[in-house]
C-alpha cells in the first residue's frame, strides 16, 4: 500500500508539473538570484597577526583546467559520471534509478552527476530531501547553460570536499601524501577519488578507503586508464601506501573567527573570487596575547581532563 500511494503521488506530481509548465517557473525562481560559482568556492584567504606573522593559511590550492593531470580528470569521470560529456547536467537514467529508490525505501540516493555534485557543494546543504534534490537539479541545469564542461570539471576538482577540512584535489594531494598533484601515482589518485563517496568516513586515513579504492581502480581499468597488470599491482600495494596527513604548520584559528573575517570582507565589497588566490588580510590581533590566551585555555582543558580521569573508588 505504501508503495502504491508513493507511486501515485509521484506520478501525479509529474503530470501536474508537465501540464502547468511549472518546471520553467521553478527553474527561474531557484536560479534567478544565484551568485556566480567563482564567488562560492572555498576561499584561499591568508590571515595575519598585527605584526605580519601567519595566523591562518588556506587548505585550498587552485589549479587551472590545463594544469590538472589528465589521469585525474579521466579517473573522476570514470568513477563519478561516465556520461559527463553526453548529458546536460542531469542524467535521466540516474534520476530514474534514484526515483525508484525514493519510492521503495523513502531514501534520497544516487543519480547525481558531477555537475549536480558541484551544485550541491557550492550552493546547497547536505540534507537529503526531495526539495534539496530538486534545487540541485535546477542549479545543475543552470551551470551547464552558463559554463563549459571543462570549466565545470575544473571547479569540481578544485572545490569538492575531501575530508578533514580539505577542499579540492590539489590541497588533498598535499595534505594526505605531501605531494603536488602532478606527482601522484595512479593508486594515490584512486584513493583520493574514492574519498568522494564519504569524505569523513572513507578518506585515505580511514580503513574504509581501501574498499572504495578497489571500486575506483576497477572503474579506471574498465575505462582503459590503467591496464589489467597495473590494476593487479595496485591491489597488492593497497593499504601499504604511506599516508602523511600533512598540513602546513599554522596557528589554531577558530572557525567562527575565520568566517567573521570573510563576512566583513564581503560587506566591504571585496570579491570572494580574489580570496581563493591568496588574498592577505592583516588583523589587529596581537600574536603574543593570542598565544597566552590559548595556553591558558589549554591549561584549563588539561585540569578538566585530569579531574575526569581520577580512579573511581
What would the mean pLDDT of 270-295 be, rounded to a whole number? 71
- Dihedrals φ, ψ of 294, to 5°? -65, -40
How far CA 209 is from CA of 41, 60, 163, 170, 205, in Å, comes to 25, 22, 12, 19, 8
| CATH architecture for residues 71-158 | Orthogonal Bundle (1.10)
State the cell numbers at 305. 581532563
- Dihedrals φ, ψ of 131, to 5°? -65, -45
What would the mean pLDDT of 222-243 be, rounded to a whole number? 87
Task: Determine the pLDDT at residue 45.
Answer: 65
Contact status, residue 171 vs residue 60, Cβ threshold 8 Å:
yes
Contact status, residue 155 vs residue 39, Cβ threshold 8 Å:
no
CATH superfamily for 161-250 is: Biosynthetic peptidoglycan transglycosylase-like (1.10.3810.10)
Least confident of 1-10, 37-46, 145-154: 1-10
How far CA 218 is from CA of 73, 115, 187, 212, 228, in Å, comes to 16, 23, 11, 10, 9
200: confidence class by pLDDT, cuts 50, 70, 90: confident
Query: Residue 195 pLDDT > 70, yes or no?
Result: yes
State the cell numbers at 29. 525562481
State the cell numbers at 105. 525505501
Select the highest-mean-pLDDT range: 86-95, 188-197, 201-210, 273-282: 188-197
Task: Determine the pLDDT at residue 20.
Answer: 54
Contacts of 301 (CB under 8 A, 6+ apart): none
Helix axes 130-146, 22-31, angle to 10 degrees: 80
Identify the burial level of 197 via C-beta atoms within 10 angstroms of its C-beta, where 0-12 means exposed, 13-18 middle and 19 or more buried: middle
DSSP 42: P
The span from the CA of 288 to the CA of 137, in Å, is 49
Residue 215: its H or E element: helix 208-222
Task: Determine the pLDDT at residue 15.
Answer: 57
Amino acid at each position: 500500500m505504501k508503495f502504491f500511494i508513493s507511486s501515485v503521488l509521484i506520478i501525479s506530481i509529474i503530470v501536474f508539473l508537465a501540464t502547468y509548465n511549472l518546471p520553467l517557473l521553478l527553474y527561474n525562481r531557484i536560479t534567478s538570484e544565484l551568485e556566480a560559482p567563482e564567488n562560492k568556492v572555498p576561499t584561499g584567504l591568508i590571515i595575519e597577526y598585527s605584526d605580519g606573522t601567519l595566523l591562518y593559511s588556506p587548505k585550498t590550492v587552485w589549479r587551472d583546467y590545463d594544469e590538472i593531470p589528465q589521469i585525474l580528470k579521466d579517473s573522476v569521470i570514470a568513477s563519478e559520471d561516465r556520461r559527463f560529456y553526453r548529458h546536460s547536467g542531469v542524467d535521466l537514467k540516474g534520476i530514474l534509478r534514484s526515483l525508484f529508490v525514493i519510492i521503495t525505501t523513502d531514501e534520497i540516493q544516487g543519480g547525481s552527476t558531477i555537475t549536480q555534485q558541484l551544485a550541491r557543494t557550492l550552493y546547497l546543504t547536505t540534507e537529503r530531501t526531495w526539495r534539496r534534490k530538486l534545487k540541485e537539479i535546477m542549479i545543475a541545469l543552470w551551470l551547464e547553460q552558463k559554463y563549459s564542461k571543462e570549466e565545470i570539471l575544473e571547479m569540481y576538482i578544485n572545490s569538492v570536499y575531501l575530508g578533514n577540512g580539505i577542499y579540492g584535489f590539489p590541497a588533498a594531494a598535499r595534505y594526505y601524501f605531501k605531494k603536488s598533484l602532478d606527482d601522484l601515482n595512479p593508486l594515490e589518485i584512486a584513493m583520493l577519488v574514492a574519498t568522494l563517496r564519504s569524505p569523513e568516513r572513507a578518506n585515505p586515513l580511514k580503513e574504509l578507503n581501501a574498499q572504495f579504492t578497489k571500486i575506483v581502480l576497477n572503474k579506471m581499468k574498465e575505462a582503459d586508464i590503467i591496464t589489467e597488470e597495473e590494476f593487479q599491482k595496485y591491489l597488492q600495494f593497497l593499504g601499504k601506501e604511506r599516508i602523511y596527513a600533512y598540513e602546513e604548520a599554522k596557528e589554531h584559528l577558530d572557525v567562527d573567527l575565520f568566517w567573521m573575517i570573510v563576512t566583513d570582507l564581503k560587506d566591504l565589497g571585496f570579491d570572494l573570487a580574489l580570496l581563493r588566490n591568496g588574498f592577505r588580510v592583516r588583523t589587529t590581533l596581537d600574536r603574543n596575547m593570542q598565544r597566552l590566551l590559548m595556553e591558558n585555555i589549554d591549561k584549563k582543558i588539561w585540569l578538566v581532563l585530569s579531574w575526569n580521569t581520577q580512579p573511581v573508588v
